[in-house]
Amino acid sequence: MFIRAYLFTVLIELVLCYLLNHEIGFMKILGADTLVNTFSVPIVWFLLTKLPIDYFTFVVVAEVFAVASEGLLLKTLLPRSLGRSMVTSVAMNITSFSIGVLFPWLFAPIGLSHSVLNSTIHSISLEPLKLPSFNSIVN
């Protein structure tokens, strides 16, 4: 599941990164996009899912982390200003997040069960879903 989510994220964010920065050249953008996602996606999947926080907070933390880290890395890897890199990162992550909401089975981190995803999709409530806390997993 992780590899599929990683590859879909790279592909989706590559399209956005290229559309916003095509004058740099495809190969440089492919390399930068692959590197930023190789850094951020495993951290979201394998570290942030372990935090004892509710689902809504997890989404906010994960997306803020992804946008900030990927924007800073894009600035380092591509000849772009920090502002342009952050705008690119926001666009990339809004797009991959939106597609993830529409097709959650493509992107769901390991810590999120099918029932949590299913209730997220079909829920009309604005109340956040609860991820299991670290203590409940350990004990």
Indicate the DSSP class of residue 130.
B
Cα-based distances in Å from 125 to 21, 39, 41, 128? 39, 33, 28, 8
Which secondary structure element, helix H or strand E, spans residue 68, and what is its range?
Answer: helix 55-77
Task: Give per-residue pLDDT as tens, 92-120.
Answer: 999 999 998 888 876 666 555 444 545 54
Q: Tell me the whole-structure pTM to 2 decimals.
A: 0.76
3-29, pLDDT tens digit by residue?
Answer: 988 999 999 999 999 999 999 999 999
For residue 33, count other CB atoms closer than 10 A to its CB.
28
